[in-house]
């Protein structure tokens, strides 16, 4: 139940609407957890029933009213229960359909494969740049505003960047091997 925990975690920084939660998912933890609006609204509904969050309407003129959610004490302890309870097995589920296609690559043409590896490299490069901008914006705000969180945001973003650099290296090696191989 990690969508729930993600929402509670973000709400632990302060009250938010469904819409603004979606933006935070996209902009700050999108590289490690994604969520759609409909999912967020549904989860907010069930969490309010359970008493993990409370809502209040903030009336606005010239744009739709806001429903602002605040985390309750039960919500905080529910979040901490999840946070401190690491699962025995720390591996995340692997379902990667790019890799599945490569696994069955012998049924593809060499040229097509190389083209796809090149697209792959391009996309990962762009993603690294995006993450570096995110990291830089955290670093800029610095310890004064973000506080103790900075080091952990650096950790997670760092892992993403390092992994991307590795898969780029891997894809380059694949291209070289493919070019040398006679298929």
Binding status of residue 81 toward a copy of itself by CB under 8 A:
no
Give the interface with DNA as residue ranges (CB under 7 A): 1-3, 17-20, 23, 34-39, 41-42, 44-45, 60, 62-68, 93, 95
Contact in structure between 25 and 38 (CB atoms under 8 Å): no
* Backbone CA torsion sign across 118, 180, 96, 156: negative
Residue in 20, 5, 1, 2 with CA at minimum distance from that of residue 69:
20
User: What is the residue whose two structure tokens read 């593809």?
Assistant: 108
Q: CB under 5 to 8 A by kind: which of a copy of itself, DNA, none does 163 bind? A: a copy of itself
Please identify, among the stretches 26-34, 43-51, 52-60, 64-72, the one whose residues bind a copy of itself according to the rule CB under 8 A: 26-34
Residue 136: count of CB within 10 angstroms of its CB: 10
Distance in Å from the first CA to the final CA of the chain: 46
Number of residues that bind a copy of itself (CB under 8 A): 64
Q: CB under 5 to 8 A by kind: which of DNA, a copy of itself, none does 63 bind? A: DNA
CA distance 137 to 72: 30
CA distance 16 to 10: 8
Q: How far is the CB of 17 from a copy of itself (least distance, A)?
A: 20
Q: What does the binding site for a copy of itself look like in residue numbers (CB under 8 A)? A: 2, 5-6, 9, 12, 29, 31-34, 80, 83-84, 86-87, 89-108, 112, 116, 119-120, 123, 127, 147-149, 151-153, 155-156, 158-159, 162-163, 165-167, 169-170, 173-174, 177-178, 181, 183
């Amino acid at each position: 139940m990690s969508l729930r925990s993600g929402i509670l975690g973000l709400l632990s920084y302060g009250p938010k609407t469904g819409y603004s939660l979606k933006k935070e998912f996209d902009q700050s933890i999108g590289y490690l957890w994604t969520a759609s609006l409909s999912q967020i609204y549904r989860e907010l509904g069930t969490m309010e029933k359970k008493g993990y969050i409370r809502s209040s309407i903030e009336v606005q003129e010239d744009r739709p009213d806001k429903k602002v959610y605040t985390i309750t004490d039960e919500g905080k302890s529910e979040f901490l229960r999840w946070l401190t309870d690491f699962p025995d097995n720390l591996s995340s589920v692997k379902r990667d359909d790019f890799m599945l296609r490569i696994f069955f690559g012998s049924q593809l043409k060499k040229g097509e494969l190389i083209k796809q590896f090149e697209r792959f490299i391009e996309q990962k490069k762009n993603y690294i740049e995006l993450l570096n901008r995110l990291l830089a914006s955290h670093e800029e705000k610095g310890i004064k505003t973000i506080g103790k969180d900075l080091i952990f945001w650096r950790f997670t973003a760092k892992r993403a960047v390092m992994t991307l650099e590795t898969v780029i290296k891997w894809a380059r090696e694949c291209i070289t091997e493919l070019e040398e191989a006679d298929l």
